[in-house]
């Protein structure tokens, strides 16, 4: 298998987009991502990686330039990173790549469990360091948090296994490569919608006020019947990779 950036292989853009994910439908309704996601791929091709197994695309990674200090990472996480990428593209100035934020790492559904995510992240670390990145951050969406939507996000993120590494599989991949959990992004992604929209997105009735759990959600959706709307606010976990320290495998 070979990994390329879209700057190296612009002919692989269609293959990049061909990798389907399995996020729940409502997760595709974030207004910030809907507006900025594709533009970031086109605007920062050197930061978008694709893994090819022969002629087939099996994994991809999104990232954007990010202008925040590690000790002052925004509470809006994913949305903040996407919005900043949008602003940078609007300015048309060469991006400062000293800090980069990961956005998403996606492995083809039938190739999960084959050990692709760790090598992809390691390759991203190497390539971004070569581009001058010193601090690589990520608003990580913990893989198994959806099984416990009412557990506080920070409590979940702090769980460790017998070896001292995070219990969550995706946080664990980051930690094995030297990533360090540094903060919570409590409002990383915000998805508002009318009750009819939420019914369409989830197939649920949305006929009660308050917190409603939805399949795939890391936290319940907040429902307001009188206001005819519901809002999903997802917390992610900020992870920091110090690329000046080199790759560290534990």
C-alpha span between 157 and 177 (Å, rounded): 17
Over residues 172-226, the pLDDT tens digits come to 999 999 999 999 999 999 999 999 999 999 999 999 999 999 999 999 999 999 9
C-alpha angle 234/137/128, rounded to 5°?
Answer: 140
Structural domain range at position 39: 2-186+236-244
Q: How many domains does the chain have?
A: 1
CB atoms within 10 A of CB 60: 25
Phi-psi region of 117 (alpha: psi -120 to 50; beta: other; left: phi over 0): alpha
Q: What is the pTM of this model?
A: 0.95
**Is position 107 within any domain?**
yes
pLDDT bin (cut points 50, 70, 90) of residue 93 is confident
Tokens 């920062």 correspond to 44
C-alpha span between 44 and 161 (Å, rounded): 37
Angle between helix 77-91 and 31-43 (nearest 10): 50
**Is position 207 within any domain?**
no
Over residues 3-54, the pLDDT tens digits come to 999 999 999 999 999 999 889 999 999 999 999 999 999 999 999 999 999 9
**Is position 226 within any domain?**
no
Over residues 78-87, the pLDDT tens digits come to 999 999 999 9
Return all residues near 242 (Cβ < 8 A) that are at least 6 apart: 134, 135, 178, 180
Over residues 99-149, the pLDDT tens digits come to 999 999 999 999 998 999 999 999 999 999 999 999 999 999 999 999 999
Is residue 249 within 8 A of residue 174, CB to CB? The reply is no
3-state SS assignment for residue 97 = coil
The predicted structure's pLDDT at residue 249: 43
**Is position 217 within any domain?**
no
C-alpha span between 75 and 248 (Å, rounded): 27
**Is position 168 within any domain?**
yes
Res 243 pLDDT > 90: yes
The predicted structure's pLDDT at residue 2: 97
C-alpha span between 139 and 238 (Å, rounded): 5
Res 247 pLDDT > 60: no
Enumerate helices (H) and strands (E) in the chain, giving the number of each: 7, 9
**Is position 229 within any domain?**
no
Res 246 pLDDT > 80: no
**Is position 228 within any domain?**
no
Is residue 29 within 8 A of residue 86, CB to CB? The reply is no
Phi-psi region of 156 (alpha: psi -120 to 50; beta: other; left: phi over 0): alpha
The predicted structure's pLDDT at residue 21: 87
**Is position 191 within any domain?**
no
User: Strand 221-224 to strand 229-242: parallel, antiparallel, or no bridges (unpaired)?
Assistant: antiparallel
Percent of residues in the chain assigned helix, strand, coil, to nearest 5: 35, 30, 35
**CATH number for the domain including 43?**
3.40.630.30
């Amino acid at each position: 298998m070979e990994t390329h950036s879209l700057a190296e292989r612009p002919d692989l853009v269609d293959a990049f987009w061909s990798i389907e994910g399995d996020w729940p439908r409502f997760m595709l309704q974030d207004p910030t991502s809907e507006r900025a996601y594709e533009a970031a791929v086109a605007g920062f091709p050197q930061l978008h990686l694709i893994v090819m197994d022969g002629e087939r695309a099996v994994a991809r990674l999104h990232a954007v330039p990010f202008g925040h200090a590690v000790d002052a990472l925004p509470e809006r996480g994913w949305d903040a990173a996407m919005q900043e990428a949008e602003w940078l593209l609007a300015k048309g100035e060469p991006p400062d790549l000293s800090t980069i934020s990961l956005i998403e790492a996606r492995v083809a559904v039938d190739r999960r469990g084959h050990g692709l995510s760790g090598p992809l992240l390691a390759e991203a670390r190497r390539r971004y360091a070569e581009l001058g990145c010193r601090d690589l951050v990520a608003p990580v969406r913990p893989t198994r948090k959806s099984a416990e939507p009412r557990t506080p996000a920070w409590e979940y993120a702090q769980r460790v296994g017998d070896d001292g590494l995070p219990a969550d599989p995706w946080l664990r991949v980051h930690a094995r490569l030297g990533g360090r959990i540094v903060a919570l992004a409590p409002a990383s992604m915000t998805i508002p919608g009318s009750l009819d929209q939420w019914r369409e997105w989830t197939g649920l009735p949305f006929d009660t006020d308050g917190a409603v759990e939805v399949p795939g959600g890391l936290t319940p959706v907040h429902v307001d019947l009188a206001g005819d709307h519901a809002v999903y606010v997802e917390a992610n976990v900020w992870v920091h990779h110090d690329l000046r320290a080199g790759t560290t495998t534990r």
